[in-house]
Structures are given as structure tokens and as C-alpha cells.
Amino acid sequence: MTRLGIIGSGSIGSAVARLAVAAGHEVLIANSRGPESLTDLIAELGPGARAGTVRDAAEFGDIPLLSVPLGAYGNLPVDAFAGKTVLSTGNYYPHRDGRIAQLDSLDSTTAEYEQALLPDTTIVKAFNNILFHHIPNLANSTPRTALPIAGDDADAKARVAAIVNALGFDTVDAGTLAESWSFEPESGAYTPIYAADQAALAADYLADPGAPVPADRLRELLDASHRPDVAARQF
Ligand SMILES: NC(=O)c1ccc[n+]([C@@H]2O[C@H](COP(=O)([O-])OP(=O)(O)OC[C@H]3O[C@@H](n4cnc5c(N)ncnc54)[C@H](OP(=O)(O)O)[C@@H]3O)[C@@H](O)[C@H]2O)c1
């Protein structure tokens, strides 16, 4: 990877942008408010980064990273993503996204729902099961921390794995989009697995620095994961 387009400059998008720039890659980042709203972030990121429109970010580099709330998918310039592999960090939070019947009923995983919203793309999931502040703390950790990835196309998944590796994490193949429930919210491989202290994380999640989870441990957690009762989700 030499160029990474990032759509979403919030907690996750900016955390990944920092890693990418630190690793010597070029970043083009976009949000809903336009490039002029990103002046401070670009100043912080330095000469490796620039701001642009969502279309600019979708077209910058090979695989755009999409890190926006589910409700924003309908406002994206779908044609700019056509034919692309898209690295999606998205999760379903009903309090933010509204209740979505096919997710509550378990007819779709969030990843399959996203794929239906962006039908001319190849969605690959990554970075959706780690808290934003654990990303810088656990990138290039010793031992290396692993993130799950899921997707329906082996080549697309391999290319996303290469990006995740370049950003400082190992990957574990968690299967298809249909199987990606294994690292959705409330599953057995969601964000608390990276806590240094799970009780402390529950009390004050921002105070927890995170702790490495190597690939073999993540594999065990994914294999033992349970499908969450999404309809009962309260957040
Ligand atoms: N926060 C976490 O720790 C975490 C962990 C794992 C996964 N996730 C998931 O990752 C995704 C992003 O989370 P986040 O915490 O980074 O969210 P966030 O901090 O709320 O940032 C969301 C970003 O999306 C942008 N956006 C919204 N609508 C857009 C549109 N139509 N076009 C372009 N950009 C748009 C926003 O733009 P503006 O800045 O202009 O408002 C903002 O930059 C979510 O699905 C979340 O559930 C989050």
C-alpha cells in the first residue's frame, strides 16, 4: 500500500490515518463536512496527508477505507466505489443507526447489509472490533496484535490483510461476510478482548490502554464466539 483513501475522519478514520502516515503512506481523508473542516487534522498528520471529498477518497489508491455510521451509506456517491474492494469498519448501533429489521432478525450480518448497500463493491471487514484508542496502543505491539478480517472474495481479503499488516497488525481470517457475526458487537471477539483489564474497561473504557492479542488467541476467541441477540441490543 502506498496510498490510502479514508472516508470518515472520526475516531476510527483518524486513528488509522495516523498509523498510515506514520508508516510512510500517503493518506487522503474525507468527511461529511468537506475538506475545509479537516484543516486541523491535516496539520497534525503532516505532509503525508491531504483532505478531499468523499469521491476523491474513494478514488485515491486501491482500497478505500470506509469508516462512517451505517446511516451514511445511503448518502455516499455509490458510483465512485464501483468495482472497488472496500475496507469497512462499520458496526450496527441501533441508538445511532435506528432499528434495521434484517439485522435485528439475523437475516443479515452488518457486513452483508453493507454489501447490499454498495452492491458494485467487494466489502471486506476489518478494524470494526477494536476501540479507537486501542488502535495506536496496539499497532506494532509485542507480541503482534491480530485483527479479524472477513469477506467473500479471497483475493480482496488478501489485499486488505496486506494493508492491515502494513498498519501494524496481524490478521486472522474469520470467514465470509455471513460469518462475520463472530466479531460483531457483543460477540465473543469484540472490543473487550483487547482490554488490559476487562473490569476497568467496563468502568472507564478510555482509561484502559489495551493489551496485545496474538493471532492464535484471536483464532480461539473467534472459534468460541457466539452470535449476539441483535434485536435485544440496547446501544
Ligand atoms: N469508535 C470506535 O471505537 C469504533 C470501533 C470499531 C468500529 N467502529 C465503527 O466504525 C464506524 C466509524 O466509527 P467512528 O467512531 O469513527 O465514528 P465517528 O467518530 O462518529 O466518525 C464518523 C465519521 O463519518 C463521517 N460521515 C458521516 N456521514 C458521512 C457521509 N455521508 N459522507 C462522508 N463522511 C461521513 C463523519 O463526518 P463529520 O466528521 O463531517 O461529521 C465522521 O468523520 C462506525 O460504524 C462505528 O460503529 C467504531
Query: What SS3 class is residue 86?
Result: strand
Q: What tens digit of pLDDT does each residue of 13-47 get?
A: 999 999 999 999 999 999 999 999 999 999 999 99
The answer to whether the beta carbons of residues 195 and 203 sit under 8 Å apart is: no
Query: What SS3 class is residue 37?
Result: helix
H helical segments located in the chain:
11-22, 39-45, 54-59, 78-81, 94-97, 101-104, 110-117, 134-138, 154-166, 198-203, 215-223
List of domains in the chain: 3-180 (3.40.50.720)
Q: Is the CB of 11 under 6 A from ligand 1?
A: yes
Chain centroid offset of residue 75 CA = 19
pLDDT of residue 152: 98
Rounded Cα distance, 32 and 87, in Å: 18
How far CA 1 is from CA of 8, 24, 49, 195, in Å, comes to: 19, 10, 14, 29
Q: Is the CB of 151 under 6 A from ligand 1?
A: no
Rounded Cα distance, 71 and 20, in Å: 26
Q: What tens digit of pLDDT does each residue of 120-160 get?
A: 999 999 999 999 999 999 999 999 999 999 999 999 999 99
**Residue 23 φ/ψ, nearest 5 degrees:** -90, 5
Buried b (16+ CB within 10 A) or exposed e, 32-57: eeebeebeebbeebeeebbbbbbbbb
How far CA 179 is from CA of 76, 91, 106, 148, 225, in Å, comes to: 26, 14, 11, 11, 11
Supply the residue whose CA is at minimum distance from atom 32 of ligand 1: 32
pLDDT of residue 8: 98
Cell digits for 153?
A: 472474495
Ligand 1 mutation pick, 6, 7, 9, 12, max ligand atoms within 8 A of CB: 12
pLDDT of residue 136: 98
Cell digits for 93?
A: 448501533
Q: Is the CB of 95 under 6 A from ligand 1?
A: no
Average the pLDDT over 195-213 and give the result.
Answer: 95
* pTM (predicted TM-score): 0.97
Rounded Cα distance, 104 and 78, in Å: 25
The DSSP call for residue 61 is: B
pLDDT band at 1 (very low <50, low <70, confident <90, very high): low
Q: What tens digit of pLDDT does each residue of 87-109 get?
A: 999 999 999 999 999 999 999 99
Q: What tens digit of pLDDT does each residue of 42-90 get?
A: 999 999 999 999 999 999 989 999 999 999 999 999 999 999 999 999 9
Q: Is the CB of 17 under 6 A from ligand 1?
A: no
Ligand 1 mean position to 140 CA, how many Å?
24
